[in-house]
Structure 1
């Protein structure tokens, strides 16, 4: 589970600065890491993040107008192993070696040639284009029409190029190339390199157990590992347990929908998930199965953060039809509670049938939760050293205590 080759130091330095620098956002008020705080397991502790225009950090972050982003902030652990990014997989590596993104032909071949980490290098191109995430309104970037990706990315590079330290960092990371010949692909490739280097972990108790140390797991974790492999969990989570197996595809796990949605359904507050990418009705409400590494550190869980505890999320899979109908919306913040959609019949119409036979005794739930904790690398518990003290723009850095 390690990288094929170390990421060069100069690229990590550049990527780290860019990831924490609010200069990438329209109003210079939010960075990539505002919603992926290292101190909070590379998340923000909220069901749905608050991006541009937000106040405070972490679970206390809010927006004056009650605005949320559309989907939960996924954790950033071990992204180098993934081929599909974002909850609907709209940034993904194709079998032919190319990358599919929402920008289509706006990503020229010259940009794609820069991507050293495949889709991991490409996906940071898109949060900066979202008005609720980073772009905001009433600024020099926000007047670029939606879908005019090339113009927006060019303007961000103009901002960066006005700072001499950034010009030096870019040219150090890409020796022999002038900053004036670079695009935002060089910036997001550096962010990808930083993420791959800073948040890749492979020394959990489970990893050590697989390497032959039989004393790494407790009795409960051993039982949980057995149950994980027998009740059906590995049908969706192969890559989390054994290297070299496929996994992390898309499934409708019968999860409720709340929040602003993505414009789908009669009210526009539904989210059709993978169908928005493929156009296939069979993909309706399918979302990417996230990795499980360090999962005990990354609550809440689900594509809109439906479950605030790991146990609650595991319990959902005990007869998903019933647990969907019995969902307790009081576990999320009040502003989101009132947006809950009661479209349970539509959700169940396309939910994954492989989930139907699963029944979990309470003791099995206990053991499964303990096993999932065995996927935590202790080195991921304290990521305070990842956050820099300053960034080239001089803007303040978001860091949760």
Structure 2
């Protein structure tokens, strides 16, 4: 009997999940009219390579709470008794959930994980799965038993449990920071969280809808079992003589150039893109070029301003990110609203508070009028000036801004033990271990961009939006000379501070409020100030911010929590971050200074 057949006549959540479990592979061929337009990544193939088990570490995030439970047989026991001594995957669900990206996703992924790992007898005996229902009125032991029958693979150690009473439920949900609100009948509003718990009842990872995928969960489970000694550890990446000989290569530690999204630029295309990048005539009033917010000598960012400034001094609400190594990124802007450089470049050209051009046609007509550009586009692309070729030219130049081969790379990937000092080495150990930075700033066995290319809520956006406005401000008039003044004096003429809700402004999904892209960390010592709003002036301030656990709010990413770092440990982390500076940056700056810049007063 199929899962769908067994589920007939049962709760809506069972029917929905059974349909997904039997038909998700065909989702792109035929969908019901009311099927969701967007489903969670966990239902599809992973669109990036899962990390190699054992090549990374999952830092403890806190204790997994215990409490009384009732299982599907009606027996009462403790939650920790359901965990076992290996690895546990714990999900909070309710069986009648009809949100495809909620409880059904958790059950679907857990079933995939169980089936995938069943073949390994070591994992089968050390992996527990627990689905904990918070609908104590409806999800009785009998209901949970039928639900388990539909989806639990034969031989899987998977318990379906609930709380014995409302007080116990409230205590357990609070301990796991799981907010649940009943919206009527048996419907609940909640944020999906699935917890990975080790044999010492410590939480080692927390998966939300965007990150819950069988491939990555399976890798995490294997990693924890390797840590426990139950599985053989992954071999360390080999370091050969050829790698060491090429330790001064600006690509050392970076993915291959062929891994960049988009075509590899020709010399003519990159040269044309560089010319456009430095041309101030591309702004409405011919005063602002791309290079004035992405200053080569300032790490292709801007050090003097927390947030960028557009034409006529207009306010831009976010910090100008570095363009170094941007060619490998598939998540662009702080809110991830673009995924290709060819598309991204048009946003600042057309933004009224940045370069201010009124339309695409206005930009193209100007370029056709200015001498030299028509011939240059014909030479580079074999075509005239158009929206696609302008985007391709600017993207081509940005793809040449490659800066690897840092002291860290020469040590970690090149095998040169003298490339970094002891403080940087201790800092990297903290980065991968106690501090847990690697959970978002990924490091692979062969290369690292130091970003998961995902979005997270650290609380900074929440604080800026929800905290009351200051009444007074301290302003520096000159070095060592500052005044404090009442903001009411300037409010009638001052520009209103723009609100910033992060990824929500793209998706309109309340769960995305104040989420911003994980910043890549290469060359980070050159690109102060930091964060999406430039609110942290130094690397030491950034480390201290994360050590405090960010800014508490309902949507705070569970990976952000107090770290308990000593002052010496924080200093070691800063030393590690400073070791990520590439010597190739100096060459890129020299090349930028040699680029011929058009006179904005001509033509």
Question: Structure 1 length normalisation: TM-score?
Answer: 0.72
Task: Check conservation: 1:48, 1:304, Cα contact below 8 A.
Answer: yes
Task: Check conservation: 1:258, 1:270, Cα contact below 8 A.
Answer: no
Deviation at 1:320, TM superposition (A): 2.3
Q: Distance between the aligned counterparts of 1:396 and 1:207, measured in 2?
A: 45
Q: Distance between the aligned counterparts of 1:394 and 1:85, measured in 2?
A: 30
Deviation at 1:353, TM superposition (A): 1.7
1:70 maps to what in 2?
317
**Computing the radius of gyration over CA atoms, which structure comes out larger, 1 or 2?**
2
1:190 and 2:379 correspond:
no
Q: Which of the two has greater helix per residue?
A: 1
Q: Distance between the aligned counterparts of 1:164 and 1:364, measured in 2?
A: 57
1:221 and 2:424 correspond:
yes
Q: Distance between the aligned counterparts of 2:294 and 2:505, measured in 1?
A: 25
Query: Which 5+ residue runs of structure 1 have no aligned equivalent?
Result: 54-62, 93-118, 136-140, 143-151, 262-266, 325-346
1:3 and 2:257 correspond:
yes
Give a deviation string over 1:33-88, Cα, whole Å, max 9, x none. 111110111112110111101xxxxxxxxx3xxx4211100011101111010000
Deviation at 1:363, TM superposition (A): 0.8
Deviation at 1:122, TM superposition (A): 1.6
Matches within 5 A, 1:324-363: 324=551, 348-363=553-568
Give a deviation string over 1:257-294, Cα, whole Å, max 9, x none. 79899xxxxx9843110111122211110000110000
Deviation at 1:248, TM superposition (A): 2.4
1:384 corresponds to which of 580, 587, 590 = 590
1:338 maps to what in 2?
none
Deviation at 1:390, TM superposition (A): 3.0
Deviation at 1:166, TM superposition (A): 0.3
Task: Evaluate the alpha carbon distance shift between residue 360 and residue 260 of structure 1 in structure 2; reply closer, same or farther with a 3 A threshold.
Answer: closer
Task: Evaluate the alpha carbon distance shift between residue 27 and residue 258 of structure 1 in structure 2; reply closer, same or farther with a 3 A threshold.
Answer: farther
1:50 maps to what in 2?
309
Of 349-358 and 21-30, more deviation after overlay is shown by 349-358
Task: Check conservation: 2:275, 2:595, Cα contact below 8 A.
Answer: no
Q: Distance between the aligned counterparts of 2:405 and 2:447, measured in 1?
A: 14
Question: Structure 2 length normalisation: TM-score?
Answer: 0.49
Q: Distance between the aligned counterparts of 2:391 and 2:560, measured in 1?
A: 37
1:40 and 2:298 correspond:
yes
2:437 maps to what in 1?
233
1:249 maps to what in 2?
454
Task: Check conservation: 1:257, 1:304, Cα contact below 8 A.
Answer: no
1:17 and 2:281 correspond:
no
The number of equivalent residue pairs is 310
**Greater RCO, 1 or 2 (C-alpha within 8 Å, sep 6+):** 1
1:81 corresponds to which of 328, 333, 347 = 328
1:162 corresponds to which of 365, 369, 379 = 369
Task: Check conservation: 2:456, 2:557, Cα contact below 8 A.
Answer: yes
Q: Distance between the aligned counterparts of 1:396 and 1:158, measured in 2?
A: 17
1:122 and 2:380 correspond:
no
1:153 maps to what in 2?
360
Deviation at 1:204, TM superposition (A): 0.4
Q: Which of the two has greater strand per residue?
A: 2
Task: Check conservation: 1:254, 1:348, Cα contact below 8 A.
Answer: yes
Task: Check conservation: 1:300, 1:307, Cα contact below 8 A.
Answer: yes
2:34 maps to what in 1?
none
RMSD: 2.5
Query: Which 5+ residue runs of structure 2 have no aligned equivalent?
Result: 1-253, 467-495
